[in-house]
Structure 1
Amino acid sequence: MNDLTPTAVPSRLTSLDAMRGFTIAAMILVNYPGNGEFIFEPLEHAAWNGLTPTDLIFPFFLFIVGVSIVLAFTKAVEQNTPKNGLYKKIIFRSLKLFGVGLFLTLLPHFHFSELRVTGVLQRIAIVFMVCSFLFLNASFRTLVWIGAVTLVTYWLAMYLIPTPGQGKVMLAPGYNLAAWVDSKLLPGRMWQGTWDPEGILSTFPAIVTGIGGLLAGHLLMSKRTPYEKVILLLVCGFVAVVIGYVWHLAFPVNKNLWSSSFVMVTGGLAALVLGTSYYLVDIRGYTRGTWPGIVFGANAIAVYFTSDVISYLFYLVPFGGAPLNEHFFLALTHVAVAPKIASVLYALLFVCINFVTAYILYRKKIFIKL
């Protein structure tokens, strides 16, 4: 464990900042097409089992949250900062994130009877809080054990406990143990009526995605040489992907269930991307092309929030009888642009619009930490 003792490493990594920003940009890209009926398959989530590039976005962000926790709190730990003060900051930030997530679910009509308690920001808030507490109290080895036990326990529960009311083990949409738990314990509306992809049980393996980021952060802050860090990130990432796809044979890769195999595959891919980025950007100094990601990443959650808010202006408010997205989509298709291309061009335009907001904040050195 001596080689994982924290050392004097910069608390910010250009590669990580850029990776965070490009992940948020990708999240906006897939969330706001010009027309929801015309989307290229890689820009859609897998219907159930399986994996598309879009399915990587959320776990990548949770992985980055884990890495960022290590970079943010390592100095405080080294200086023996009282944990009670850190706990208060962690809880306060988590509550802010959760509250903002609830606010977004109420937009635009604020019908509290339709409140969805779960959501992207809500899950980020929970993962941030739990992983922060774990980092402040658990060793590297303990984190590995917690992650492994959680994934195995989740797998066994989903595969050995029959779905109540069905009399047998099921993994179908709306007919599985996770969906049943949500139907009994989750207040408010569920995203798909009978089940929710950010439900209660699936949050536990999602926390392990954050733990994967903690482990990567420990490695980056260790005394190992930069090249050793890259090699370990790449090797561990590759091994995790292999384990995940082997596990897929028994517990399919599934984002909606956040299956154990999904955690391993996406966490491994995130480690591969981070290792490659760290080598190219922070070690070799190839920073060309990272600037848009850095701008987005400087206010990642704030940009995600504003993109959701302003989307109502583009998708719901009629201008000349139709929302702006329909005008754009129809204008392109009328000049013989293929519908799927027109739809993705609009999504790219919407990303650029949100980049303007991110750039203004970045230029004025305003960094909103929700």
Structure 2
Amino acid sequence: MLTSKTRLLSLDAFRGFTIAAMFLVNNPGDWGSLYPQLEHAAWSGWTFTDCIFPFFLFIVGVSLHLSLHRKVLADHSETQLLLQLLKRALWIFLIGLALNLIPNFDFQSVRIPGVLQRIALCTALAAPLVVYSSWRGQLLVIMALLAIYSFIMLAVQVPDVEGNLVAAALEPGRDAGAYIDRSVFGNHLWKQSRTWDPEGLLSTLPAVCSVLFGVLTGHWLSAKRDIAEKTVWLFIAGLACLAIGQILASWLMPVNKSLWTPSFAVFMTGWALIVFACFYWLLDASPAIHLKNRMIYLMHPFIMYGMNALFLFTLSGLIAKMLGFIHLPQTDGSQPSLHALLYAPIKALPVSAVNASLLFALLFNLTMLIIAWGMWKKRWFVKV
């Protein structure tokens, strides 16, 4: 049983690994020069990059259960717990919205959805279930949400961008979720399309399931079971989710991050379980003390990232925006962005374009790691 003082290093390391992966894919030197696995799938299908966001939501779910479990042991009331979660969700939403406003503060067309906003909505929607329901109730809600979402996407006719009624049009801007987003948000959608949003409202329903899968994992971790048995079943559950996700992709809807299809939610939960199980065995479950200590040393960069994840996520977004927004005049009269100036010497190296772009992302990651190390050294842990 987890006690109120228990902290899973494996969860911090998994969170940190996911943050590091996000820095890598979000900050290339040149968006036109990328390895295929370091960009999202064009539509259906998946790449390494498509794993990152569902990993975040899975981690949110595990953290929700373990955090509430500790607070229940400390005699917090259910109402207190729910209010704390809703307050946290509100702050995360506002931080995400503020990031979207920077640097232009264009309230007329600012994108309202976003990554942090989805995390906030999923947290708020999952919170009552985490506080008041059992794992059986949570599992039933997962099945209900996936069924409701599938029915709406496959059976409900909605007008497309041209106003023509369409059903089961799982194409960019033509699905039911895109219609809802255009109706609700209007001009406040993803600027690359303005007709649909990858973090839209309807697809938040299966995204909540990704969080609840993490909550169910938290139940298993806090159960009175042998730690080796827990690890084995994490792997088995992960393999089962991969298989079920493939079946759903064949029978129902394809694996698609932008639509967060049921097959995507289940399939990515499978990968999250397997990757987390690896961290769990190496950092928390391994009976070999010397191996565990060595792994803690090797995984320390990820652990430092994971202990300040929200702050580093926000800071990286601000830095990336400023690199593109700040332009510096040159003697030849040009005004390149700060990003272009920093990337120029890397681009001039005798390496391929994709490797130069990757090197810039790695250096960005190194910069964030130095910041994370400084915060860890000072014991500065920023939470909301």
Question: TM-score under structure 2 normalisation?
Answer: 0.91
CA distance in 2, matches of 1:299, 1:7: 22
1:27-106, aligned counterparts within 5 Å? 27-106=22-101
SS across alignment from 1:179:
helix
Deviation at 1:156, TM superposition (A): 2.0
- The answer on whether the counterparts of 1:230 and 1:275 sit within 8 Å (CA) in structure 2 is yes
SS across alignment from 2:298:
coil
Residue aligning to 1:223: 224
Residue aligning to 2:233: 232
CA distance in 1, matches of 2:141, 2:204: 14
Deviation at 1:154, TM superposition (A): 1.0
Structure 1 residue 185 corresponds to structure 2 residue 199? no
Does 314-323 or 82-91 show the bigger shift? Answer: 314-323
Residue aligning to 1:339: 353
- The answer on whether the counterparts of 2:346 and 2:359 sit within 8 Å (CA) in structure 1 is no
- 1:322-368 deviation digits (Å, cap 9, x = unpaired): 22332343323333221110001001111111122222221111111
Does 83-92 or 47-56 show the bigger shift? Answer: 83-92
Given residue 347 of structure 2, which amino acid in structure 1 is its aligned partner? T
Does 330-339 or 31-40 show the bigger shift? Answer: 330-339
> Residue 367 of structure 2 is aligned with which of 322, 334, 353?
353
Does 133-142 or 206-215 show the bigger shift? Answer: 133-142
- The answer on whether the counterparts of 2:4 and 2:71 sit within 8 Å (CA) in structure 1 is no
CA distance in 2, matches of 1:198, 1:244: 21
- The answer on whether the counterparts of 2:17 and 2:306 sit within 8 Å (CA) in structure 1 is yes
Residue aligning to 1:3: none
Given residue 182 of structure 2, which amino acid in structure 1 is its aligned partner? S
> Residue 337 of structure 2 is aligned with which of 323, 330, 334?
323
Task: Return closer, same or farther for 1:289/1:205 CA change in 2, 3 Å cut-off.
Answer: same
> Residue 268 of structure 2 is aligned with which of 266, 269, 274?
266
Given residue 217 of structure 1, which amino acid in structure 2 is its aligned partner? G
Task: Return closer, same or farther for 1:167/1:45 CA change in 2, 3 Å cut-off.
Answer: closer
CA distance in 2, matches of 1:34, 1:121: 24
- The answer on whether the counterparts of 1:197 and 1:256 sit within 8 Å (CA) in structure 2 is yes
Structure 1 residue 174 corresponds to structure 2 residue 173? yes
Deviation at 1:304, TM superposition (A): 0.7
The aligned length equals 365
- The answer on whether the counterparts of 2:103 and 2:325 sit within 8 Å (CA) in structure 1 is no
- The answer on whether the counterparts of 1:117 and 1:188 sit within 8 Å (CA) in structure 2 is no
| Two-structure CA RMSD over aligned residues (Å) | 1.6
Structure 1 residue 311 corresponds to structure 2 residue 320? yes
SS across alignment from 1:200:
coil
SS across alignment from 1:201:
coil
CA distance in 2, matches of 1:327, 1:111: 27
Deviation at 1:80, TM superposition (A): 4.2
- The answer on whether the counterparts of 1:35 and 1:326 sit within 8 Å (CA) in structure 2 is no
CA distance in 2, matches of 1:187, 1:80: 45
CA distance in 1, matches of 2:79, 2:300: 37
Given residue 361 of structure 1, which amino acid in structure 2 is its aligned partner? M
**Structure 1 unmatched ranges of 5 or more:** 1-5
SS across alignment from 2:49:
helix
- 1:156-209 deviation digits (Å, cap 9, x = unpaired): 221112233334321110001110111112355111210001101000100000
